[in-house]
Structure 1
Amino acid sequence: MKKTYYISLARGEISQISTASPWNYKIEATDEEIVQLREYFDQIYSSDWQGFFRAHTPYIEYHHDPTNDAYDETIQKVYGLIYELGDEETREHIDQEGILKD
């Protein structure tokens, strides 16, 4: 059974209460789909820490770092899942921003 969730990408938050904190996207998702989205957020958090340490290693350029590739790939997965589960306003926003690669 699908339920309504409110997603805050910057904070990696998933809430069923629209007034709990500011949110970016509204979706309808099953428990399994929310677990998948949470796993993507966890991967992003992990990549952020790896990127933090990489940033303090000046001889590795961004475009030559597999950590950044993993982060970028996971962000695409997050937006793809949000797009798939999102309401019309969510999909329009993602389309207008050109966030997803074709």
Structure 2
Amino acid sequence: MTKKRASNEARSPDGSMCECNPCSAYNVEAILNIDERGQMVLPKEVREKAGIKTGTKLALISWEKEGSICCLALIKAEDLSGMVKEVLEPLIHKGD
């Protein structure tokens, strides 16, 4: 069976189609420290691997549990519009 590609799929830094989804494997890439100004640094290796350069805009996505934010994710803003429905909708409807 051939997997049908949606026109709104995101692309990886190398230009290939991004296959990530809420059920895919994940990696802990780094542990970040927040400084007194609320800033953090993404390690160079992570930025290079993700294709994040100066001026790249990232969307901060949060998930709430019992009124508090429990999880945060960063998604390139340019990829967000195409990923919202495919990535976030299953998480929203998971408990239905």
TM-based fold match above 0.5: no
**TM-score, length of structure 2 as denominator length:** 0.25
